[in-house]
Structure 1
């Protein structure tokens, strides 16, 4: 086999030597691939040109892949024209170097092992690079120091290295896919025939969508005041509470109908969300809790609710102004540390993308980046992600104020990326906004008008609709629920279910 010479040079030869590498293994692998092109099928899925330490070897490997991709034989003869003018090749004797690489046929036996070692050493070099950048950044105080931003950047880079070293992607056999489908069906059967994912806390909604499924992006949208934050919080709480209950009953965590949940609140603080949850569980209004207008009995109820929720696996991050990259970094950390199984983001339009610049066009692109980022996060961590979203004012201009998919604000990519889109509609909210003045005793015309309004409002009060406007895995429709505005709690309506599939 050819004598292999380091061609990569740097300011310090000792620095090059210090980096993890094995150019002899690279040369042996290239020789083996040129001797037997069939070996390429075994290594090309995981090993890429950038994993080679020696740049010349990376170019040779890339050329081999190009030729075989065209169904051509890759050997020293077919590769020679591609390297006639390569300066680095000339330094090691010209294209004859390709023939020298094939000098040892024994390398064919250990080709797969060489590929594994080259890949592992590339990961170690990437890790060295992250560490070096981290040290240099921490030592450079010439500009404004932002330690937390540096830590987040380092975590992101480390996660990229970890992802690179994870299990390689592969096609699943039909048997594997069938087994997963049967496990999902078994879970739905054991839960009573309607819940194959994590619970939403609403039986009627569970029946309609089958619960919250791993890797799905669920968009919950509504106009301000409809209760989208309340519904997102309710779902996160219900999943965390069900997980606590199921595991306490001896059910395996992997088979629980709930999961530890993370709630990223860009609008409300953690204590405000905690107050909401305590209000829901104790039955005391949030306003009474904030102002302290509660009795001793109500305080005891509050203390009881707080004690029951002490071990709830629900984690709240209320950091304002997060970018989608920072949110993904924090979500990965919570997945690693707390093994979260559900993520709620409140709300999507308050996140920032990674780009710069203003204008409506850039904002549309930014929202597209954010929605894609949330969908990628759902698949990457294999958890359902619930993204709350504002709706455009177009809703207010229509006589029928039920939302439509076209009302999703600022980007059609939200609809495209989402697996499920849920809209919240409360007729009593709009009726309340148009409440007529209470008439004087002699104003009979106004009295009739007021009584007509009051009858409509009384019939609609406390009722809400969760509109399933898109469902990738099932039909659309309307789920009727109840909403307690005092405690911001959604619950099942005793005499309501869901309406048939939406038309149009």
Structure 2
């Protein structure tokens, strides 16, 4: 097609689009308003999702808004009480003025007002979709160097998500019996697993016993100072969950196994770096050797076998830097729709951004907005969300460097929004950097005594890590030990000496 012909074709398409009327149904709007004027109880059936601006007709929008004001004040809304609102309303004059209200109230009433409300809302969404498409079209044509196409896509996804959420609030008061049934179902599931877990297993035995697993809709903060092993523990848990399978029951009543799905949002490390770390964890080959390529044929075979096992897992990595909560939500919702979703991991929350470039006055407010958003995602998608967090430097100033809740950086609402707060602490890291030096005027005996105590303590904590459960809404707090292999960044269950089998 020649350029001139193409332009003519586009022009004709635009002309035909202009001739089309936006989707609307004035009869449905009239039927809904008639039902409300006839009985104000009808308003209660639709007011939780239908807003005045959802009406296509401006007069209907004003009538519905006025009805809402009166009903919410506890007053009666009908043609008589609304007459005063519209005697001087020029916008209502076109449809007959106050007499139009009397006509609506006298019209036949269909009791299924919720159906009309949903139809009106659906048509509103269609009009908004058309407007959004036009905005996307206009912004795509603009040659603005400050507005990359990828940013426009993110903004479009955010607007689409906001539009999808409009009027979907089906919550509200519900019978306690429904919540009770759900609670009993969870208890039964834990009972059938020998009372072990009510939530998703991390496959670290002592941690699972303390936590009861990772609970759906929970926000779990995993925090620690740099080099403590936050990312390593998060990747270990992500792998353990992804290699697990759960029992599901099909429509025919038959049980089948379904693999768990994990979404890992890595804001600090690239997907390749994260994959390399997980390969090291699972193959047992040192991570630095993998990076340098200094491995034997035997090591390569181990890596290849581990890669083949990992290939089959439903472990998805998104390494978008500075991702926002709306973008994360959109991608997690898409993954759940396509593959299911069992767990979300975010590494780490201080690297996330607030939509609009961060209009808050302080970083504390921005982080608070991020944690509230992550908690909302956990509830909406009904999955646990593990969000890694940095700790403030004040930890380093104390003699006992075990972290506390007050050490959470920008802790305005991190502690408040979190259902669980876990800290990773490795005493070995600090001891190795605190080798005793001879003090002034200290004799050999005292120096060697101090040095031996330090050396003994280093041996006692070598290869050990502590997971400190500092907050748990569902149960007790406490400390559990894990083993830690720094070469492969792999955690494992700790078995105390008294539980080891006798060597004799």
Normalised to the residue count of structure 2, the TM-score between the two structures is 0.88
The match for 1:378 is 378
RMSD: 2.6
Partner-residue secondary structure (3-state), 1:107: coil
Using the TM superposition, give the Cα deviation of residue 41 of structure 1 relative to its aligned residue in structure 2, in angstroms. Answer: 2.3
Partner-residue secondary structure (3-state), 2:312: coil
The match for 1:123 is 125
Q: Distance in 2 between matches of 1:165 and 1:49?
A: 12
Q: Distance in 1 between matches of 2:461 and 2:369?
A: 38
Q: For structure 1, which segment, 89-98 or 453-462, has the greater mean C-alpha deviation from structure 2 after superposition?
A: 89-98
The match for 1:9 is none
Q: Distance in 2 between matches of 1:421 and 1:164?
A: 33
Partner-residue secondary structure (3-state), 2:106: coil
The match for 1:260 is 261
The match for 1:70 is 73
Normalised to the residue count of structure 1, the TM-score between the two structures is 0.88
Using the TM superposition, give the Cα deviation of residue 283 of structure 1 relative to its aligned residue in structure 2, in angstroms. Answer: 1.2
Using the TM superposition, give the Cα deviation of residue 276 of structure 1 relative to its aligned residue in structure 2, in angstroms. Answer: 1.4
Partner-residue secondary structure (3-state), 1:219: strand
The match for 2:318 is 317
Partner-residue secondary structure (3-state), 1:73: coil
The match for 1:292 is 293
> Contact between 2:329 and 2:377, CA under 8 Å: does it hold in 1?
yes
Q: Distance in 1 between matches of 2:379 and 2:460?
A: 42
Candidates 103, 108, 117, aligned match of 2:106: 103
Using the TM superposition, give the Cα deviation of residue 252 of structure 1 relative to its aligned residue in structure 2, in angstroms. Answer: 4.0
Q: Give the gaps of 5 or more residues in structure 1.
A: 1-11, 498-504
Pairing 1:322-341 to 2, within 5 Å after superposition: 322-341=323-342
The match for 1:7 is none
Q: Distance in 1 between matches of 2:192 and 2:29?
A: 53
Q: For structure 1, which segment, 213-222 or 332-341, has the greater mean C-alpha deviation from structure 2 after superposition?
A: 332-341
> Contact between 2:466 and 2:480, CA under 8 Å: does it hold in 1?
yes
How many residues matched? 476
Q: Distance in 2 between matches of 1:333 and 1:430?
A: 43
Using the TM superposition, give the Cα deviation of residue 98 of structure 1 relative to its aligned residue in structure 2, in angstroms. Answer: 1.6
Q: For structure 1, which segment, 24-33 or 309-318, has the greater mean C-alpha deviation from structure 2 after superposition?
A: 24-33
The match for 2:479 is 478
C-alpha spacing 1:274/1:143, structure 2 compared with 1 (3 Å): closer
Pairing 1:386-405 to 2, within 5 Å after superposition: 386-405=386-405
Using the TM superposition, give the Cα deviation of residue 142 of structure 1 relative to its aligned residue in structure 2, in angstroms. Answer: 5.0
The match for 1:430 is 430
Q: Distance in 1 between matches of 2:317 and 2:464?
A: 29
> Contact between 1:480 and 1:496, CA under 8 Å: does it hold in 2?
no
> Contact between 1:345 and 1:386, CA under 8 Å: does it hold in 2?
yes
Partner-residue secondary structure (3-state), 2:415: helix
C-alpha spacing 1:142/1:204, structure 2 compared with 1 (3 Å): closer
Pairing 1:138-157 to 2, within 5 Å after superposition: 138-141=140-143, 144-157=146-159
Q: Give the gaps of 5 or more residues in structure 2.
A: 1-14, 249-253, 499-504
1:465 and 2:466 correspond = yes
1:61 and 2:61 correspond = no
C-alpha spacing 1:296/1:402, structure 2 compared with 1 (3 Å): same
Using the TM superposition, give the Cα deviation of residue 162 of structure 1 relative to its aligned residue in structure 2, in angstroms. Answer: 3.0
The match for 2:174 is 172
C-alpha spacing 1:14/1:455, structure 2 compared with 1 (3 Å): closer
The match for 2:493 is 492
- Cα shift readout 1:198-240 (whole Å, capped 9, x = no counterpart): 1112111111111111111000001111111111111111110
The match for 2:213 is 211
> Contact between 2:49 and 2:169, CA under 8 Å: does it hold in 1?
no
> Contact between 1:283 and 1:487, CA under 8 Å: does it hold in 2?
yes
The match for 1:85 is 88
